[in-house]
Structure 1
Amino acid sequence: MKALRAATPYQDNNGQVPPRGVYSGPLFKLSHDWPTSPLPPIGKTPWQEAIGNGPITVENASAYAAVLKAAVADNAKQLIMRHDQWDAAKAGWYNEPWVGSLREAISGTYPAGTFGPSIFPGTGLRATFNTHVLTYYDKRAAYSLRDFWGESSMKPALKTEKAQFQEGAIIVKAALFASADPKVKADWWDAMAGAAAWSLYLPVGSESKPQVWPGYVAQFDIIVKDSQSSPTTGWVFMTLVYDKDAPGDVWDKMVPLGVQWGNDPQATSPDMPLKENWNNPKAPLYSTQTLGWGGRLTGPNDGGRNDIAVDGKVIRNAPNSSCMSCHSTAEWSTTSNRMNSFLLPSFATKAAPYFQLCNDQGKPDPNGTVICSPAPGSKEWMKWFQNRPGTEAMDPDSFAVDFDEVFSFKSLKLWWAAVGPVEQVAPMLMRTPAQGPRFNQYTGAPLPKAEDESR
C-alpha cells in the first residue's frame, strides 16, 4: 500500500536496482516525451493495400499479417535482438505512465502470469515459468497518451473522446518467459532454443531478493487502429510467437500465431466457424495449446485459459477468453473508480477482486482460486464476446478507452491507488497471499496452486 501511494507517473522502475558489481549494463528508461499534437492523417497503409483496401477476412488475413509485421520490422529487430542498445525515445516509441512501480529495472518489464508444464504437453517444458511484458506506443498512438493523461499524468481526462486512438496508431507488446525455478536458469524449454534473451532483475521462486535472470522473447503482439479493414471494432490484433524451426534470424522466427478483428458473437459454441479470426496452421505446437474459446486468438502469455467453475463443476484450463474479448472490457467508471467488468467471463461482486471466486468443489468462496463463471455460450458468457466499437463501454456508468487494457487495467488503477482517498483505495487493492489467493498481476485472474495440484 505504501509503495503504491508513493508511486509517481514517470518512475523508471520499482526501486530495486542491481548493484554495479552484479550488473553493469544499461537500465530501462521510461520514454514519455509524447507528441503534443496529432499527426497528419495517415492515408492508405501498406497493410490495407495488401488486402485490396477492403475488409480483412479469414482468406486475406495472412497477407495483412505479413505486411503489418514488415511495417514494424526495423524497430522490432532492434528491440528484440539488440535490446541492450535499444533507445526507445530516439526510435520514436513511447511507454504508458504509472506502471513504473511494477517494472524491473533492467528491461522495464512487469510481471504477467505463471504457467507450468501440464499446460504445454509434448513441448519439452521442464520448469514452471513466469511471464513479463513490455508495451510500446508509436508516435501516432502516443499522442493519445498525451491527450488523455496531459502533461503531468496526475489529472487524466476521464472521458471517452479523450481515450481514442488515431487511425493508423500501432501498439506493440513483447512478452518474455523466465524460469520460476531457482535451480533452472536456462535451457528449460526446448521450444525456446535460440530465442532472444533479455536480462531481467527479479526475484525467482520463493526468493524475495531479486537477481539478474534471463527471459526469452516468446511472443510479440502488434495491434493497429484500422477502421477501414475492421469497420466493426476498428482494430486488428496480431500475435507473433517464437518458432525455433522457422528459417532466418530471431525476428524471422517470430511467426504469426493468428489475427483477430472481432469477437465472432454469432459463434456461440466451440464447434462453430469463426469469421473474424485467422489462426496460422503452421504455428508452433506450444502456441496453439493456449488458444482461447472456440479457437479464438490468444497467445501463450495471455491467460486465455483458466480454471473455472460452472454450475458447481470445476473445469481446469478451460478456454474462456480471446485477445479482443479481453480488450473489449477496456473501460473505467468515475463512480466506482475501477473497471465494472472483469477481463474474463465471471459474476460481478461488490468487494475486491470484484468478480466471484469458487473453491475446488465449485462453490462460491471468497478465498477460492477458481473463477465462478457463466456457462460457455450462455447469454451471460456472450457479454464478453460481442462486437463493440472502441467508443462503447461494456457497462453502463463507464467510459470506453478504445480497447486499451493498459489504460483501464494498469495505468488508471495505479493512478487511483496513488491519488485516490485512502479509505476508497485500500479495499480495491489485490489481496496478498496471506489474505487470500494470489492473483495474476497482468490479467487479475487467480494464480493456480502448486503445479502438481492445480492441473
Structure 2
Amino acid sequence: MRTWELLSLSFLMLSSSFVHASGALVSSCDKIPSGYSGKVFKIKTDYLAETSNKKRPWEYISFKEEPQKYAYTILKYIYDGNIDCDFDLHCNKVANWYHAPWMHYGINGREFVNGLTRERSFKPGELHNDQKSMLQNWAISIVNEQGSYTYGQVWKDINNPDITKGEFLDGTVNAKLVFTEATEDDIPTLKNSITWTGYINQSEKGTPKVFKQLRLFQIDFLVKDKRSEETGWVAGTFIYDCTINNKNPWFNMKLVGVAWGNDPNYFRADYIIGKRLLECWINPDVMKGSLGYLGRLNGPIDNKKSSCLSCHSTAQYPEKSPSVPSEQSTEGEIKYWFRNLKEESFDEGALNFDYSKQLSHGIRNYYSAKEENDSIGCNDFNYKRYH
C-alpha cells in the first residue's frame, strides 16, 4: 500500500466522527485489464458514528393511504444529488449515502467499474417466447446516514465485527438499482434507459469477464418506518418504462407497488377466490406475472416464490434458511417464509440482521474469508485496492 493510502486509512480510523470497516479496504476483486483508463468504483464507508435527527420528507405521508405519494417521495430522496453524479457516492454534495462492506467477495462479488454484484438471471423464455438464452442482472445497493450508523456499529472493530448490533434506526433507507443485459428487443419498454458499463461474466457459466452494456431496469427500496406494525419496514419497487416519456430517463420509473407486511394469512385458497391482499398496494397497471408469490410485491427480476419483505426477513447470521422456499416446498412449509417478523430472527439460534441482506451477506463473506485465512477476501489474490 502506498504512503498516502496508509495516511488516509490512519486518519479514518482515528477520526472521532466516523468509523471505518475492514472490508472497505477492497472495492472489487477484479483484475483491471491492461490499458483500461475508465471509471473505477470506490467503496464509501465513512459511516456516521452518531445518530441523526434530520426530518424525513415521508414521515407524515401514510404508506397505506397514499402509497404512490410515499413511494415517489422516497425515490426523489434516493435521487437527490445521486443522479447528478451517476450514483458515484463520493461526488454527492447534497446527501450522504454509503456502501456495505464485504460485498466484493466471491464469484458474484462487486465488479470494478460500478461496484455491481450479480443478481438472479432471467431464464430462457422468462421475458418472452423469443428469449433463447439466460440474461444476467447486476445491482448496486446503498444506504442513507441512518442506516450507515448501524453498519458502523457492527464494523467498529475492523477485525472483529459485532454481530449483535444489527438493528437499524427508524428512518433507515436502503436502495438497490438493478441493471440488466437485456435489450429493448427483450423488453421493449427498456428503450432509452440509463446505461452503465459492467465488467461482468461473458455468459451464464461464469468466467471470463468482459465489458458489457447494462440497462437500468428496476429500483427497490426498504424504509425502516415505525408506523409499520407488521414488520417495521416498508418496501417498494419501481421498473423502467419508456412509455412514461420523460426526457430524463431517471424519471421513467413506474411504481410496481408498496408493501408493509407479508400477509401471513393469505394463501392459495384465498388467491383462487380472488381475495385481496391486505398488507400491500399493487399498481393495477402492472402485469401480474411480474409479481411475487400469489401476487405479493416483488420486482420482475426477483424469485416468483418470494416477495420483497419475505426474502429480506431471512437476513441473519448464520444464514440457516435460504432466501426463498425450495421448489419442492409444500404450502405449509411456504408459510414459514411469510410470517411478519419484527426485530426477530428468521430461525432460532441465529442473530437477526433486521431485513438487511447486505449486512447478512457481508458478515457471511467476512467469516468465509476468515476460514480461508484470507483477510482481504480475494482468495486468488487477483485484486487491486482502491481508495
What TM-score results when the alignment is normalised by the length of structure 2?
Answer: 0.81
Partner of 1:296: 296
Partner of 1:277: 280
Listed one character per residue, the Cα deviations across residues 285-304 of structure 1 (whole Å, up to 9, x for unaligned) are 4xx423111100111222x2
| Alignment map for 1:2-401 (pairs within 5 Å) | 9-10=23-24, 11-20=26-35, 23-40=36-53, 42-43=54-55, 45-51=56-62, 56-57=63-64, 59-78=65-84, 82=86, 87=90, 91-101=95-105, 102-121=109-128, 128-152=134-158, 154-159=159-164, 162-179=165-182, 188-205=186-203, 208-228=207-227, 230-248=228-246, 249-269=248-268, 270-271=271-272, 272-283=275-286, 285=287, 288-302=288-302, 304-305=303-304, 320-332=305-317, 338-346=318-326, 371-373=327-329, 375-376=330-331, 378=332, 380-389=333-342, 391-401=343-353
Partner of 1:425: none
Does residue 404 (structure 1) correspond to residue 356 (structure 2)? The answer is yes
Which runs of 5 or more residues in structure 2 are unaligned?
A: 1-21, 374-387
Partner of 1:359: none
Q: Which amino acid aligns with 1:236?
A: V
Partner of 1:350: none
Instruction: Quote the Cα distance in structure 2 between the aligned partners of 1:39 and 1:155.
Output: 25
SS of match in other structure, 1:27: coil
SS of match in other structure, 2:199: strand
Instruction: Quote the Cα distance in structure 2 between the aligned partners of 1:214 and 1:387.
Output: 39
Instruction: Quote the Cα distance in structure 1 between the aligned partners of 2:353 and 2:180.
Output: 28
The answer as to whether partners of 2:146 and 2:172 remain within 8 angstroms in 1 is yes
Over the aligned positions, Cα root-mean-square deviation in angstroms equals: 2.3
Instruction: Quote the Cα distance in structure 2 between the aligned partners of 1:49 and 1:26.
Output: 39
Q: 1:94 to 1:151 in 2, by over 3 A?
A: farther
Instruction: Quote the Cα distance in structure 2 between the aligned partners of 1:415 and 1:114.
Output: 25
Instruction: Quote the Cα distance in structure 1 between the aligned partners of 2:237 and 2:210.
Output: 30
The answer as to whether partners of 1:127 and 1:189 remain within 8 angstroms in 2 is no
Q: Which amino acid aligns with 2:42?
A: K
Instruction: Quote the Cα distance in structure 2 between the aligned partners of 1:13 and 1:263.
Output: 35
SS of match in other structure, 1:136: strand
Residue from 366, 374, 382 that aligns with 1:415: 366
Q: 1:222 to 1:214 in 2, by over 3 A?
A: same
The answer as to whether partners of 2:115 and 2:140 remain within 8 angstroms in 1 is yes
Instruction: Quote the Cα distance in structure 2 between the aligned partners of 1:165 and 1:89.
Output: 23
The answer as to whether partners of 1:119 and 1:289 remain within 8 angstroms in 2 is no
Instruction: Quote the Cα distance in structure 1 between the aligned partners of 2:80 and 2:132.
Output: 34
The answer as to whether partners of 1:329 and 1:394 remain within 8 angstroms in 2 is yes
Give the total of aligned pairs.
341
Q: 1:401 to 1:208 in 2, by over 3 A?
A: closer
The answer as to whether partners of 1:16 and 1:104 remain within 8 angstroms in 2 is no
Listed one character per residue, the Cα deviations across residues 366-401 of structure 1 (whole Å, up to 9, x for unaligned) are xxxxx331x23x2x2211111110x21121111111
Instruction: Quote the Cα distance in structure 2 between the aligned partners of 1:292 and 1:231.
Output: 22
Q: Which amino acid aligns with 1:48?
A: E
Instruction: Quote the Cα distance in structure 1 between the aligned partners of 2:276 and 2:131.
Output: 31
Q: CA deviation at 1:218?
A: 0.4
Q: CA deviation at 1:340?
A: 1.7
The answer as to whether partners of 2:184 and 2:190 remain within 8 angstroms in 1 is no
Q: CA deviation at 1:46?
A: 2.7
Instruction: Quote the Cα distance in structure 2 between the aligned partners of 1:105 and 1:66.
Output: 30
Q: Which amino acid aligns with 2:102?
A: W
The answer as to whether partners of 1:186 and 1:214 remain within 8 angstroms in 2 is no
Partner of 1:312: none
Q: CA deviation at 1:143?
A: 0.8
Which structure carries more relative contact order (alpha carbon 8 Å, separation 6+)? Answer: 2
Instruction: Quote the Cα distance in structure 2 between the aligned partners of 1:89 and 1:212.
Output: 26
Instruction: Quote the Cα distance in structure 2 between the aligned partners of 1:405 and 1:209.
Output: 27
Listed one character per residue, the Cα deviations across residues 68-114 of structure 1 (whole Å, up to 9, x for unaligned) are 222223234236xx35x663675521111111131111011011121
Instruction: Quote the Cα distance in structure 2 between the aligned partners of 1:86 and 1:200.
Output: 17
Instruction: Quote the Cα distance in structure 2 between the aligned partners of 1:48 and 1:16.
Output: 44
Q: Percent identity, aligned pairs only?
A: 27
Instruction: Quote the Cα distance in structure 2 between the aligned partners of 1:236 and 1:186.
Output: 31
SS of match in other structure, 1:387: coil
The answer as to whether partners of 1:125 and 1:190 remain within 8 angstroms in 2 is no
Partner of 1:362: none
Q: Which amino acid aligns with 2:40?
A: L
Q: CA deviation at 1:50?
A: 2.6
Q: Which amino acid aligns with 2:170?
A: E
Q: CA deviation at 1:120?
A: 2.0
Q: Which amino acid aligns with 1:383?
A: Y
Instruction: Quote the Cα distance in structure 1 between the aligned partners of 2:299 and 2:349.
Output: 31
Which runs of 5 or more residues in structure 1 are unaligned?
A: 1-7, 180-184, 306-319, 333-337, 347-370, 423-455
